[in-house]
Amino acid sequence: MAAEMPVRRSVVVESRPSALEQSCREILSALEAGGFSQDDIFAVHLALEEAFLNAVKHGNRMDPTKKVQIDYTVNQEKVEISMTDEGPGFDPGRVPDPRVGKNLYRPEGRGLLLIRSYMHTVEYNERGNSLRMVRRKNQSVPRCGKAAT
Amino acid sequence: MAAIQPRISVAYTNDATVIAFTDERILEDIDVRALREAVESVVEQAPRIHLVLDFRHVKFLSSAVLGLLIRISKRVYEQEGELRLCNIHPGIYEVFKITRLTNVFEIYEDVERATRSFSSRP
């Protein structure tokens, strides 16, 4: 059965890691119904989890009074997800490359690299509290050779 | 074989302790914390441990798990032990490659090869 496309939704969820579960399930189901590959689904799942953890931990700093807004569109060509937290924002250009030097042995700091590695487009707003990411259907993402900036 | 909190299973061979992660998906902080406590409790009891972490059941993980592995690795080497990873699902192996953790961890195809690697060292 052909999936109804596009799927568009906007949700606001609490600042706790498990709050992503339902939205994540809905997005991945829409991808599956839309004929996205298992690689696409793995990639979007990983990017979603990493982006949400960043929003909750680094953006909203686990403040239960703050929320995360998730807007997504799935159509026959791509999935586009925006995630906005209520934090002060950050400069993604100043995040150290976790693949070099001592950073390689640090337990944290790999989320943004993974998002950039699995999504075709990754953009932040000027304030740095809203992420927009896009993955095109059945197209692998070229691996970036240098630090994600 | 003993089950701990059912997040890991532990098996002992002649030369190694093999810990398998039993969850298919490891995502949340609470999961990662539970795993860390479970694995560290095994490591603390065995100085100079030859530890194999078996990922055969794991199909999906977040970067928090990579951090967990770094922490476990440090603890193992502080105790003069050695660590190997094995049975990593291709999708997850790609995550290790992207983050260049393939340069940090010794990764083997299966438990047997990982275990054998300890005795092949001088």
Residue A10 C-alpha, separation from nearest chain B C-alpha, in angstroms: 23
**B contacts of A99 (beta carbons < 8 Å):** 99-100
Residue A142: closest CA among chain B residues belongs to which residue?
B98
- How far is C-alpha A112 from the geometric centre of its chain's CA atoms? 9
Is the Cβ pair A49, B29 closer than 8 Å?
A: no
Does A7-136 carry CATH code 3.30.565.10?
yes
Query: What is the rounded average pLDDT of the residues A58-64?
Result: 94
The lowest-confidence range among A56-60, A139-143, B75-79, B116-120 is B116-120
Please judge whether A143 and B71 are an interchain contact, meaning their C-beta atoms are less than 8 angstroms apart. no
Q: What is the mean pLDDT of residues B83-89?
A: 98
Residue B4 has pLDDT above 60, yes or no: no
Give the residue from B63, B66, B104, B102 showing the smallest Cα distance to A114: B63
CA distance B28 to chain A (A): 6
In percent, the amount of chain A with pLDDT more than 70 equals: 94
Would you say residue A2 has pLDDT above 60?
no
CATH number of B2-119: 3.30.750.24
DSSP 3-state of B68: helix
Given this model, what pLDDT does residue A149 score?
37
- pLDDT value at position A144? 67
* Predicted pLDDT of residue B33: 86
The complex's ipTM? 0.91
Q: Enumerate residues 6+ apart whose C-beta is below 8 A from B120.
A: none
Q: Which tokens in the block code for residue B75?
A: 């603890």
Q: Does A143 touch chain B (CB under 8 A)?
A: yes
Q: Does A53 touch chain B (CB under 8 A)?
A: yes
Is the pLDDT assigned to residue B29 strictly greater than 90?
A: no
